[in-house]
Structure 1
Amino acid sequence: MLSEIQETIVKSFQVLQTTQLVKDKYENILEHLDSGIILFDRNGMLTFINVQMARLLGVSRSSIRGCSLTQIIRHSQMGRFNKRKILRIYKETIIYKKRYHELSDENGRYWLLTVTYGDQMDGDYLISAKDVSDHKQIEQTAYQNDKLAMLGKISASIAHEIRNPLTAIRGFIQLLRPHLLQLGKDEYARIILMEIDRANDIICEFLNSSKPSAPQTITVPVLPLLKEVVLLTESEALLKGCEIVLHEGQSALNISVDVKQIKQVILNIIKNALDAISDLGHYHIGIINLEVKEDLDNAYIHISDNGKGMDHNTLARLFDPFFTTKLSGTGLGLSVSYRIIKNHGGFISVNSTAGEGTEFIISLPKV
């Protein structure tokens, strides 16, 4: 009888030990996932958080384990940005019953949050956060390319329809010109022809804006190119009380580009920066910084300002054709810039915070 009891105890101990080993193994896997994991029990107390989620929240795991949601929000280590995000997730999950949320952090990375609760969780709430920035970038690039391609088709169609009647009008005016000359009204014909030519030039400019030509590339050093752009914009910057600072590093760095097109891109960005600084009023001291960096394959042109910045909604549509926040803007400048950099085999990205400023990063292949 005693031996049977001892055998049962040993078996129970072995089962317990095996269960604990399995539990430790799975906890170890969860702790080191590249996705963030956090678990709340039915009473709202945090029972588990892995390394990645703690890093996202900017707190140590030991300091918040066993805390309630209210205690976490009041945590001294947690930043205001993360507190706002947590409150937003709580509101949308509890009040609006949403199970999926897409958020961006301070570094511009996108995260997909999934909330699991209900009968299968026995009253617990499991929140997972997965980095989907690469997928988001691919999606945005494909969407942008589709819109730019559509813009090119529309522009070509409009230009063709307008050019045909203009050509006919020009021909008839030239036929009438000798009769107008006899009447002493040759000046009228000259003005009409000049205005028709001006209309044709506007159409050509619009076509070039919506569908930039293939780049005619030459090898140039980056810094002299940037210096030329600074010289072109310096006087306008002074009038608006701004300073353009070119950080002269990486002097030997060369790129193969269409100089005219790349100048157009940088001028567009600097002029937008000047407008963003002007919107803050005359008493705001504006600074625009230009800096060149590199890695093994690419040169990076950083253009940052301390203007009014942009909110998330503006950032999401920034490179859309015809989207503008200016009263007199066409909304083509940045969409054209995006196409030009893409045609050069590069990429253009932007980071911005409302009220703090904006930074554009132009990536171009090195020679």
Structure 2
Amino acid sequence: MYELPGRRNNGTEFQVEIGLNPFHFDDDSVTLACIIDTAERYELERNRRDLAHLTRVSTVGQLTASLAHELNQPLTAILSNVQAAQRFLTADPIDLDEVREILNDIVQADYRASEVIRRIRAVVKKGDLEVVSLDLAGIIRDVVLLVRGDAIVRGTRVALDIEDDLPSVRGDKVQLQQVMLNLLLNAFDAMSGVPSVDRVVSVTLMRESTNTVCIAIRDRGHGLTADKLDKIFKPFFTSKPQGLGLGLSISRTIIDMHHGRLWAENNIDRGATFFVTLPVGDATEQDESR
């Protein structure tokens, strides 16, 4: 199949797929050309990307208070250090070693604030699908840092258990961040009614088989009823008063596009676990080449 621009009678351009199939008819060699108008398919794909972007922005909007807190800490430290440096500079003699140390603290605080902003921009950016080789452990750690303030506000602890020397996966970084962000915030919400001592979300990343890795996000909430286990991945189904009901549906679509699987199970003791399996880089490349 070849993708090429076509032109209608009225002069407007549209995308087409052209397939050429040679075959023999009696003693003649014939080539059958199939031309498919893919304009509607591209429109649906663009709408899907726009909806996924809207969901990301909406999800990050839920973190506004905690992100403001995350930014306020380094900014307050910068202001305090500048005021301290000003006082040291009026002393006689000037303690240059102390001033150098203060300036170093200012630089470090600036790095912390820049890192918070970088993580926000990475999640909410809008663009085409970029399939590249990815360090899944790094993606998970970035998202955990992004929700750290929200976890503190909710009195929730996130425990990471990441296996060493895992192979890379192929995928779109922003979309996989979106999945992780949604699953972590859902886990936080699931424990809103439990004692603070029990508010722990366990995130495990391990190799499941030769060709797949598995992420497990386990909460200690009240679990899911049998009917919710069937419905939570359907569009517009939500149990949250302010929820769009799109987070899990879009997350599953994203994982499907990455040739993976997303599902949920109730834990034996309490709470629920959401599982994500993804093919490692080599497995994805083999699948795409077929």
TM-score range, shorter chain: 0.5 to 0.7
CA contact (8 A) 1:303 1:360 kept: yes
Distance 2:224 2:269 in 1: 8
Q: Which residue of 1 aligns with 2:152?
A: 238
Distance 2:135 2:181 in 1: 18
TM superposition shift of 1:241: 0.9
1:236 aligns to what SS in structure 2? helix
In structure 2, which of residues 35, 47, 51 is the aligned counterpart of residue 206 of structure 1? 51
The answer to whether structure 1 residue 349 and structure 2 residue 251 are counterparts is no
Q: Which residue of 1 aligns with 2:181?
A: 267
Gaps (5+ residues) in structure 2?
A: 1-42, 56-125, 282-290
Q: Which one has a bigger Cα radius of gyration?
A: 1
CA contact (8 A) 1:298 1:366 kept: yes
Give the residue type in structure 1 aligned to 2:264. V
Runs of 4+ in 1 over 6 A off after TM superposition: none
Q: Percent of aligned positions with the same letter in both sequences?
A: 27
Q: Deviations over 1:23-78 (max 9, x none)?
A: xxxxxxxxxxxxxxxxxxxxxxxxxxxxxxxxxxxxxxxxxxxxxxxxxxxxxxxx
Distance 1:363 1:219 in 2: 16
TM superposition shift of 1:206: 3.2
Q: Deviations over 1:246-281 (max 9, x none)?
A: 11313332111101000000100000000011133x
Distance 2:266 2:249 in 1: 17
In structure 2, which of residues 218, 224, 228 is the aligned counterpart of residue 314 of structure 1? 228
Distance 2:218 2:155 in 1: 16
- CA shift in 2, pair 1:335/1:299, >3 Å: same
The answer to whether structure 1 residue 251 and structure 2 residue 96 are counterparts is no
Distance 2:132 2:171 in 1: 6
The answer to whether structure 1 residue 337 and structure 2 residue 182 are counterparts is no
Q: Deviations over 1:102-160 (max 9, x none)?
A: xxxxxxxxxxxxxxxxxxxxxxxxxxxxxxxxxxxxxxxxxxxxxxxxxx96x95xxxx
- CA shift in 2, pair 1:307/1:343, >3 Å: same
CA contact (8 A) 2:162 2:206 kept: no
TM superposition shift of 1:297: 0.8
Q: Which residue of 2 aligns with 1:94?
A: none
Distance 2:245 2:151 in 1: 22
CA contact (8 A) 1:215 1:344 kept: no
Distance 1:204 1:219 in 2: 21
Q: Which residue of 2 aligns with 1:305?
A: 219
Tell me whether 331-340 or 252-261 shows the greater mean CA deviation: 252-261
Larger RCO (alpha carbons 8 Å, 6+ apart): 2
TM superposition shift of 1:205: 4.3
Gaps (5+ residues) in structure 1?
A: 1-151, 157-202
- CA shift in 2, pair 1:296/1:309, >3 Å: same
Aligned alpha-carbon RMSD (Å): 2.7
Distance 2:257 2:127 in 1: 9
Which structure: greater helix fraction?
1
Give the residue type in structure 2 aligned to 1:206. L
TM superposition shift of 1:209: 5.4
- CA shift in 2, pair 1:209/1:348, >3 Å: farther
- Using structure 2 for the length normalisation, give the TM-score: 0.53
- CA shift in 2, pair 1:358/1:325, >3 Å: same
TM superposition shift of 1:215: 3.3
1:299 aligns to what SS in structure 2? strand
TM superposition shift of 1:353: 5.0
Pairing of 1:116-195 with structure 2 (within 5 A): none
2:218 aligns to what SS in structure 1? strand
- Using structure 1 for the length normalisation, give the TM-score: 0.42
Distance 1:238 1:207 in 2: 27
Q: Which residue of 2 aligns with 1:296?
A: 210
